[in-house]
Amino acid sequence: MRARDVSVVLHLFSRSARLQKKRATLTIASIAWGTVTILLLLAFGEGLKRQLSTNEKAMGENLAIHWPGATSRVWKGLPEGRPIRPRIDDIEALRERIPEADVWGEMRTGRTNLTYGRKTVNGQLSGVNWIYGDPRKHYPRPGGRFLNARDEEEKRRVVFLGYEMAEDLFGKEDPVGKTLLINNSPFTVIGVMQKKTQTSAYGGQDKNHAVIPITTFKAVMGRDNLWVLVIHARRSEEMEAVLAHANEVMAARYGYDPKDDHVWGIWNTVKGQAVGDKIRLGMEIFFGIIGALTLVIGCVGVANIMYAVVKERTREIGVKMALGARRGWITGPFLLEGMLYTFVGGLAGAAIAIVIVTMLDMIPQEGARVLQFMGKPTLSWPIGAATVAILGTAGLLAGYFPARRAAAIDPAATLRYE
Amino acid sequence: MTAQARIIEMEGIRKVYDTGKVKVEALKGIDLVVTPGEFVAIVGPSGSGKSTLMNLVGCLDTPTNGRYRLAGEDVSKFGRDDLADVRNRRVGFVFQGFNLLPQISAFENVEMPLVFGGVSPRERKRRVEELLSRVGLGDRMEHKPTELSGGQMQRVAIARALAMKPDVLLADEPTGNLDSSAGGDIMELFSELWKQGGTVVVITHDMTLARRASRIVEIHDGRIVTDKPAAA
């Protein structure tokens, strides 16, 4: 395109008739509506995606929970059907052999009496290694802490409470530093878990249990058998290798066939995460397509009006052609006009969407249960870029097809006096 | 006479309109030569092919067969954009229905072909003012076409046709839509332009206008039947 083409097109554009106000307004409004729809759908999708992901990950990521079972194969003279019962000292052995992963054990009782003052709650008690805290997202509220290495070493009588259990026992009181009785032994509360929306769990929701050091649990309850053995890979790609390695270590210690898959019942969350990611991506694509279709309808409206304009201005176009206008000089102003409406409409729509999303953002998530699962609509740069790309393409097409019709006008046929 | 001295040179021009099933032969072999400074009137009954001839002469359309040289350039096989450039530089159109752009002023209407021709804004202003003064509308430059009378509109159209200093002024029934007084003024304007050395081709069945021409070409059924100097 030469500089002269640009200057001629701009000259014609500046002097060509605009749409009547009403038509222009309706056209812009339809584009704005489409833009609002696509932005809100994508924003809700993004919010939902993030929230689902957060909720799903509230239990922790890259975990492999091992429930002990029994052998199903004869191995080196040992019979099948032998139960395998891992103990606390297995944890240390595993840590030595697979330093690239975190390993902890969990013990539990289903119904334990926890008493504070005159209030007794029958709840779940877990004994865990202190490293459990971070990977299992047991983040303490300000003023408290989770279990640490010394608690475990010294078998301290300290307890970390799920927030619902804390509320059941202490009401509005701050539990940290208070003493409660677990099976009639006194324990000091060192921390309370922060709220989280958890959508996956093994053996109950984290908000409802009390956590004590695994060494203390053993001392108080007189048990050494683990309820579950958990392996936390630091990176999801390493999970398979870590699991294979851990199985070999345990097979050697307990004398079972490493290929025997009845020894452990394993929940590997990495697999679930991959499925979840796909579902969320699918959801986002679905929302995007619906939004894009709405926007396309708006652009069809623009194209339709532009077609009508081409028809109305047929004679003018013929006159310009007779005076020596090239095809590009005829189509240029139509393309510009189509893009102008799309641009203004898109801008208006984006502004409205931003206002709506900002207002929704001001609603507190606390107490609004729906929002805990739905998440908050979120506008992100990728969403903005996608919308701009769709709008731009649609705007070009909305101007292009009518412009092509305009260029196809036969000047000889339009100039006769009727 | 050299080829360069011929503005219009048509040889064996045929034009067939293919309307699906029926083929209509509008021109059945036209030979026509127009030299600079001629004032040619093309007359004939409606349906005789005059309008088709006008479209071809004005490069709004291309012939099915035959050769057409406009100011020495063979335009018979030109593409659309090249034809647009030829129309811009070489042909000035005047139509029965004026065909001014309604939403812009007389000034901007006359300016339009100069914009297409790539003339600088300053030169455009100078030329448009001169042309509009020449057709007696120096005081109406900012008026929209709807604010002008028929005769005035046609004079704006003539100014527009002359803007690019075309080789030929091509008019299709220029007085057909005017009352006799305004029509007379327009005829007078054409005569003047001719006397100043312009080449004019007018398609008309108004014999008063045709008689002002230097030559009358009569078309009937797609063929030239008579071609003779106008009776003085």
A321 inside 8 A of chain B by CB: yes
Measured between CA atoms, the residue of chain B closest to residue A412 is: B60
- Test A323 with B87 for CB contact under 8 angstroms: yes
Taking the CA atoms of residue A301, residue A307, residue A309 and residue A312 in that order, the dihedral angle to the nearest 10 degrees is -140
B-chain CB neighbours of A412 within 8 Å are 55, 60-61
Could you give the ipTM of this predicted complex? 0.92
- Choose among B93, B116, B173: nearest Cβ to A8: B116
DSSP three-state, residue A171: coil
Residue A162: name the closest of A179, A175, A143 by CA. Answer: A175
Report the residue from A320, A410, A415 with minimal CB separation from B95. Answer: A415
Report the pLDDT averaged over residues B75-89: 92
For A:327-366, CB contacts with B below 8 A are 327-329
- Closest chain A CA to residue B54: A412
Q: What percent of chain B has pLDDT over 90?
A: 75
The confidence score (pLDDT) of residue A342 equals 86
Q: Which residues of A touch B58 (CB under 8 A)?
A: 322
pLDDT of residue A366: 64
pLDDT (tens place) for every residue of chain A, 418 residues total: 577 788 888 888 877 666 677 878 888 888 888 888 888 888 888 888 888 888 888 888 899 999 999 999 888 888 888 999 999 999 999 999 999 899 999 999 888 899 998 899 998 999 999 999 999 999 999 999 999 999 999 999 999 999 999 999 999 899 999 999 998 899 999 999 998 888 888 888 899 999 999 999 999 888 889 999 999 999 989 999 999 999 999 999 998 999 988 999 999 999 888 888 888 888 888 888 888 888 788 778 888 888 888 888 888 899 999 999 999 999 988 888 888 888 898 899 999 999 998 888 887 766 666 666 677 788 888 888 888 888 888 888 888 888 898 888 888 888 876 5
Q: Which residues of A touch B80 (CB under 8 A)?
A: 326-327
What's the average model confidence in pLDDT over B110-131?
A: 94
Interchain contact B146–A (C-beta under 8 A): no
* One-letter amino acid for residue A317 of the chain: I
From A410's Cα to the closest Cα of chain B, the distance in A is 8
Token match 């989770």: residue?
Answer: A146
> What is the pLDDT at residue B3?
47
- Between chains, do A415 and B51 touch, taking CB under 8 Å as contact? no
Tokens of B166: 């075309």
Tens digits of per-residue pLDDT, B45-72?
888 888 899 999 999 998 999 999 999 8
Q: pLDDT value at position A335?
A: 87
Do B164 and A15 lie within an 8 Å CB cutoff?
Answer: no
Q: Give residue B194's pLDDT.
A: 93
Tell me how far apart the alpha carbons of residues A310 and B36 are, in angstroms, rounded to a whole number.
39
Interface of B with A in 166-205 (CB under 8 A): 172-173, 176-177
Look up residue A286 and give its amino acid. F
CB contact under 8 A, B84 and A11: no
Q: How confident is the model at residue B213 (pLDDT cuts 50, 70, 90)?
A: very high
Residues 6+ apart with CB under 8 A from A172: none
DSSP code, position A137 = T
Distance between CA atoms of residues A320 and B88, nearest Å: 10
Q: What is the pTM for the complete model shown?
A: 0.69
Closest CA to A99 of A206, A269, A223, A234: A234
DSSP E strands, A156-276? 158-161, 179-182, 185-192, 209-213, 228-233, 264-268
- Which residues in B lie closer than 8 A to residue A416 (C-beta atoms)? 51, 96-97, 172
pLDDT above 90 (res B38): yes
Task: Kindly tell me if the per-residue pLDDT of B4 is higher than 70.
Answer: no
The per-residue pLDDT for range B159-212, each reduced to its tens digit, is 999 999 999 999 999 998 899 899 999 999 999 999 999 999 999 888 888 889
Mutation target vs A (from B60, B87, B142; most A CBs, 10 A cutoff): B60
Q: Residue B89 and residue A324: Cβ atoms within 8 Å?
A: yes
